[in-house]
Amino acid sequence: MRQCSDEMEASAHFRRYNARMDVSHLLDGLNADQREAVTATDRHLLILAGAGSGKTRVLVHRIAWLTQVVGVPPWGVLAVTFTNKAAREMRSRCDALMPDGTRGMWIGTFHGIAHRLLRQHWQEAGLPESFQILDSDDQLRMVKRIIADLGLDDRRFPPRQAAWFINAHKDEGRRAASIQGGNASTDPFLEIYRAYEAVCQRAGLVDFAELLLRSHELLLREAGLLDHYRRRFGTILIDEFQDTNALQYAFVRVLAGDTGSVLVVGDDDQSIYGWRGARVENVQHFLRDFPQARMIRLERNYRSSANILAAANAVIANNPGRLGKRLWTEDADGEPIDLFAAHDENDEARYAVARVREWIDGGGRAGDCAILYRSNAQSRAFEEALLQAGLPYRVYGGVRFFERAEVKDALAYLRLIANRADDAALERAINTPTRGIGARTLEQVRARAREEAVPLWEAIAREIEARTLASRARQALSGFVDLIERLDASGADLELAPRIDEMLAATGLRAHYANESRGMMDARTDNLDELVTVASRFSRSEEDASMNELAAFLGYAALEAGEGQAESWEDGIQLMTLHSAKGLEFAQVFLGGMEEGLFPAQRSMEEPGRLEEERRLAYVGITRARERLILSWAESRRIHGIDTLGAPSRFLREVPPAVLREVRPRIHLLRPAQVAGGRAMGSSDAAGGFRLGQRVRHAGFGEGTIVDAEGSGAHARVQVNFEEAGAKWLVLAFARLEPMA
């Protein structure tokens, strides 16, 4: 009876719309391929949608076409996106196209739809009615408690890695009971998974991965429920299909069954989340698993110039096993793609800022400029250059360098070494990483500090002397005190960078974050290495000349952490990783750090399939640009305080030379052997009125002599051999050099 009623309602719905609606507006403005995708009568469709090809518009118009022309009732449509923001946008755009709106339609993320399903069928799912959702922080805290309860060493089995182990198996549809044991390295994590499942079940708690896993199990176990939802959701549409993992694809297949109609929109060339479980092969498997599925390519790009598309097409063509497509545009070729060979990461950052200034001076908005990089650690040099230039910026989807947790952990130790009375630094450092100093011990120390009005450091000394604490707690506190004193003494004769390096090793911070990141994509150890690099390049300003180097560096870090980030209402340059940039677009894009070993990352060359994903990431980065694209690599990059020579990324070599413009012309001159009487023999003056052999003064570095120069205009720079600071390359636009008589 229910099925008959549904069919009658659908028929009435169809007649009502046809009687009163002109649906021509659903096809207005669509190109031929987009129209084909919107109006296709095939039961199953794969829309292979290239970057900037209007896929969201096609998806929305397809939903409207199905409901207003084909007669599919809105409550018969299930539309899945990957972010809540995308779901809201889809619903809003559908409401604008459909007279009766999206009432009854399910539009949401996989997790959101699974949550809705479990709320409606909590009993069948084996959950309490008031079950709660664990976010990632709550999950991590619970895993930490379980590791402690099991008596496991959290240094050998880090909580973050254990949570990753649990979520990765859930994303593959595996319960702890279905995982084969017998592996000494993973059996403890399996034990944690079992205990975690038991605790969650008792407490009625569900993490994000559990939402979909339990929903999938519910449909497989309850045949009547599955039949109901198959009849209800006869039309399923999935956006960003290349980002689906094994469980999400299994969920779609189960729900569609043999009767449903499935349309997926995706781009195998933009699958960049393999490290978190996404399976690019799902795109190709769709054609195998859904008989008679038809593929429609959307290749016309509405975003980028022809030169930018030529670069993107050429790079991605080197990936094997693609379904294949070639982006094109009716727009002009546009500007050539600029290729900049920087001397080092600071030169690269200065050039990026110069191009931003050029854009703004030409009437452009700062917010239309993006600086993209492979690793979060690369942001530091760009942030520093933007601060020096006085330009506001925003770190998109991330935190400014000196505000990142691991960097603040390291700075806390340095602050405590510099000043034992720094209570905030002591509170942060004392148990990071954990060293057996419990909450009750710390509270007793705090109580003494309050009662005797002394800093925590002094309170610790008095507690140790008074012997009021248990022996184990006293030993742990004594060990911490000895560590700080030892680092203070041993670092007195070290330069700043090796001093910080020694601290990272002796405190266990580097090992702690490396251990937590095992098997996962994590840039926290890179950020600690970058802190050493920052220190190796740090020089005290004239104002800080009376301070010791460590104190001056800590002051610099604190000031830089508190400035520069644009407010939400301000126009600011966008800084972000390539992964964060997916789905966004900018008029001008600067893509930095394009060196072998950095991009593509070194580890991508060691694991099957990773190099192809890195190339897809390059493709995503290139196609973010609308008008201008600047690619950059550095001949030398300081990593872990050591200058390493770089080679251009293979991705640069894959860009057609015809669309590239090298923007670093070297002015011929300026080798010391050519000097005669303060002038370069047979050459004109260096850029900016300075010349080879000229004596100059700099506020921070003191007096020196110009020994080399290159470039012109805003990009001109000189190498100065300073008497105390050594040789430095300085961009004249920012250097504030003064000629000496």
Catalytic site includes residue 239: yes
Catalytic option among 6, 35, 56, 331: 56
The 10 Å CB-count burial string (b at 16+, else e) for 157-182 is bbbbbbbbbbbbbbbbbbebeebeee
The amino acid that residue 736 corresponds to is: R
> Residue 701 phi/psi, 5° resolution?
-100, -10
Phi, psi values for residue 588, rounded to 5°: -125, 130
In the set 240, 384, 516, 595, the catalytic residue is 240
Q: What is the distance between the alpha carbons of residues 121 and 229, in angstroms, rounded to a whole number?
A: 12
Identify whether the C-beta of residue 204 lies closer than 8 Å to the C-beta of residue 131: yes
Contact 503/417 with Cβ under 8 angstroms?
yes
State the amino acid at position 434 in one-letter form. Answer: T
Catalytic residue flag (residue 270): yes
Q: Using alpha carbons, select from 666, 616, 520 the residue that is nearest to residue 312.
A: 616
Q: Please tell me what DSSP assigns to residue 336.
A: P
Please say if 694 is a catalytic residue: no
List 239, 344, 409, 612, catalytic entry: 239
Is 150:192 a contact under the CB 8 Å cutoff?
Answer: yes
Distance CA 681, CA 673 (A): 9
Q: What are phi and psi of 482, to 5 degrees?
A: -60, -40
Q: Which listed residue (55, 160, 400, 637) is catalytic?
A: 55
Task: Check if 240 is active-site.
Answer: yes
Catalytic member of 270, 329, 441, 525: 270
In sequence order, the β-bridge partners of residue 230 are none
Residues in the chain: 741
Angle formed by the axes of helices 159-171 and 246-256, to 10°? 30
Element housing 708 (H / E): strand 702-710
Task: Report the distance separating Cα 368 and Cα 587, nearest Å.
Answer: 5
Among this protein's residues, is 139 annotated catalytic?
no
Residue 342 near residue 633, CB atoms below 8 Å: yes
From the candidates 214, 404, 524, 624, give the one annotated as an active-site residue. 624
- DSSP E strands in 608-688: the ranges are 625-634, 636-639, 642-645, 660-662, 675-676, 679-680
Cite the active site residues.
55-56, 239-240, 270, 624
